[in-house]
Each structure stands twice: as structure tokens, then as C-alpha cells.
Structure 1
């Protein structure tokens, strides 16, 4: 692994684990000192993260951790809602079965994350549950879109968790429990309703909290 790749992995890891919060001002020199390497690979890593939408380079002021706008998050959630319902329709039309046991394993990992107050573990496995659910449709274009937002959704979730520690979190657990129950009962209309209801509640929550 090159120094630029090492720097990228280290900075990205701190972003996703909430060590660098949104609107934090970073310094290329300080980052180079922390990583014990020259500024050139750090600069390359920063450019990569700028292109991915995590950082903003400010002329003569440093690097700002980007605050991802509410609209960008909600726009993606609307697209995700459509993808999830398409997966249900594809499964019904083609007589496909959802991977119940794999979904259950991801749900158990979410619960373990919540029990251990490991929000990162919870979020990662919540996203894996969603990806696994959608994979039944066999639509690679949908999966690519979901994968492209993976890190941003972790970053947004961790940022919100750190900003609002006294607000109830872990909302995917009851949702995924209900989804599994509806799939086991082959009640796909209920599954669709669960996704729509979660989208509605998420919109209210996002705008209420202002993140």
C-alpha cells in the first residue's frame, strides 16, 4: 500500500468513526505530522476525499469536513425507498425468495452493536441488511448506487449520533424486525408500507434535528 493509500485509509477511518466531525477545520501540516509522513501523500489523500464529497479545500485556510446537506440525504433515501419496493415487486413477479437467514444475521449484529454501544457496528450492519434485501432483485445498477452512498450514510449517521447523544437512536432494529416478520408471512404489501412509513418518519426526524 502506498503512503497516499495509507493516508487516505487513516483519514477516511477517522471520518467514518466520528473523530473528524462535520464542519471541523483540518490542516494538511497537522495531518502529515499525525500520520508521520510527508505532505505530498496526505495532499493526494485529501484530494481523493474532496472528490468523494467528504472534504472541502479552503484556499489559504485549510480543509473543512463537509456537512452533507439534508436534501442530499433525503434525496438518496427517496431513491432507496423506490429500490426497496422494486426488489419486492421483482421477487413477487419472478417467484424469488428473500435471504431470510442472512438478513437475520445482520439484524443480530445490529442488536449486538446497540447492546455494546458500538454505533459504528450497528450502522454498518444496518446498511448490509438493506443491501442484502435489495440484492434479491439482481439489479447491479441499483446495488452500485447503494454502494456509492455507503460511506456517506455511515458518516451522516455517526455525526448525528455524536451530535444528539440523548436522542433515541437504533431505529433500524425495530424496522428490520418488522420487515423480517412481514417477509416470513409473505405479506409484501406490509413490507412496502413499512418502508414508506420509515421514509416519512425519517424526513420528519431529519428536519426536526436539522442535520
Structure 2
């Protein structure tokens, strides 16, 4: 096998991984949906080998699960998982906020202020998608400022799973999240590590309760449609 053919194979594997993962996270593939690999390979216009490698990677990330018959399906969702994900996230995000408050510069505060202002502006427009995007950018910038690579690595894995719950049902109170990010920015700008950590934990745990409510509503809807 020459180098070019190896490059094509790896490219196909990565393409399949990214495409399928995006469809799962955006809930285009719904929880528990069976995955027909032959049809999927045709849809993505790739062979079964790179698809199989991509699916193995997604299985390791627990975004797809293997059934007793050997076939794959999209991972299910549950209230238990929601609570576990958000609880762990609250602790790690709290650490990030505290360390970011300690290390942030005036330039960092300006960047965070931009994101907070955009959250406020889009919240007033009731644009939940934009609020979510700018909120993610606010948190991602804190990740960079904190320089805590271990916490960030774990959070990125958690946030992939959390995104599915956000997509299942919008549970963002746009005005409330706007106020919370402004308050967080204020204590971070003051380099108040203690309150930055406490406020971030509270922010994430409030999101958890909304996610639980949204999931229960989603499950009720699914049960009614069966």
C-alpha cells in the first residue's frame, strides 16, 4: 500500500468520525437509534473499513453502544447520566474559574466582556442558539486563561455528552444565563478566586436542574409517540 492510499484511508476514517459525531451531538441521530453501517457507508460515500474504525472510536467515547446482537446504536440518555455529567462539570468548571480569576489580565477581561455582552445582546433577542454559542466561547476562553490542561481535557469530553442534552430540548433561560455570566465576569475581573469558584459551581448546577427537567419532558414526549 502506498503513502497516498494510506492518507486517503485515514482521511476517510477521520471524516466519518467527525460527521457521525456531529450528527449524534446535534441529535440528528436520536438516542437509541439503530445504526445501519452498510447504509451509513453509502451515505458517507466511504468503504466499511474506515467507517468501522470511526465507529470504534465513537464507541470508546460512549456516544454509540454495541447491542447484544453485535449491532450498534446511538447511546441512550438518562437523568442519572445528566446528574453525573453536570456534577463533575461543576467541580471542574469551579476550579477553572478560580484559576482563571487568579491569572487573568486586563486583555483577558476585555475578551470575556465581549462574550458577556454578546450573551446579553442575543439573550434580549431570545436567540437561544447564539446565547449557547457565546456562552461556550466564554467558558472556552476561561479554559485557556486557567492553563489547567488536565481539567480542560476532561471537560471537553464531558461537554460533548452535555451537548446532546442541550439539543434534545432547549433549557436555556436566556436572561438568567446573561445575568450569571455578567456576575461571573465581575468577580473574575476582581480576581476573587473564592467567589468565582462558588458562582461557577452554582451556575452549572442550575443548568443541571434545567437539563433534568428538559430530559423528563423529552422522555414523556417519546413515550407518548410510541
TM range (shorter): 0.7 to 0.9
1:181 to 186, 190, 203: 186
1:35 to 19, 40, 44: 44
Q: Deviations over 1:107-133 (max 9, x none)?
A: 4555677658472x5434423322322
Match for residue 46 of structure 1? 55
CA contact (8 A) 1:7 1:41 kept: yes
Residues 116 and 48 of structure 1, relative CA distance in 2, 3 Å threshold: farther
Match for residue 145 of structure 2? 136
Asked if 1:159 is matched to 2:159, the reply is no
2:85 to 65, 76, 81: 76
CA contact (8 A) 2:115 2:134 kept: yes
Give the TM-score normalised by the residue count of structure 2.
0.71
Could you tell me how far apart the structure 2 residues matched to 1:13 and 1:196 are? 28
CA contact (8 A) 1:131 1:146 kept: no
Asked if 1:16 is matched to 2:25, the reply is yes
Match for residue 149 of structure 1? 158
More deviation, 110-119/180-189: 110-119
Give the TM-score normalised by the residue count of structure 1.
0.75
CA contact (8 A) 1:22 1:159 kept: no
Could you tell me how far apart the structure 1 residues matched to 2:184 and 2:113 are? 10
Q: Deviations over 1:61-80 (max 9, x none)?
A: 74211124433333333333
Query: How far apart are 1:6 and its partner, in Å?
Result: 1.7
Could you tell me how far apart the structure 2 residues matched to 1:200 and 1:209 are? 14
Could you tell me how far apart the structure 1 residues matched to 2:55 and 2:146 are? 36
Match for residue 201 of structure 1? 206
Question: Higher Cα Rg: structure 1 or 2?
Answer: 2
Bigger relative contact order, structure 1 or 2, given CA contacts below 8 A and separation 6+? Answer: 2
Residues 134 and 33 of structure 1, relative CA distance in 2, 3 Å threshold: closer
Q: Greater helix percent: which structure?
A: 2
Query: How far apart are 1:49 and its partner, in Å?
Result: 0.9
Query: How far apart are 1:28 and its partner, in Å?
Result: 0.8
Structure 1: which 5+ runs fail to align? 162-166
Residues 137 and 13 of structure 1, relative CA distance in 2, 3 Å threshold: closer
Could you tell me how far apart the structure 1 residues matched to 2:128 and 2:207 are? 21
More deviation, 151-160/181-190: 181-190
What value does the CA root-mean-square deviation take over the aligned residues? 3.3
Asked if 1:85 is matched to 2:88, the reply is no
Match for residue 34 of structure 2? 25
Match for residue 109 of structure 2? 100
SS in 2 for 1:149: helix
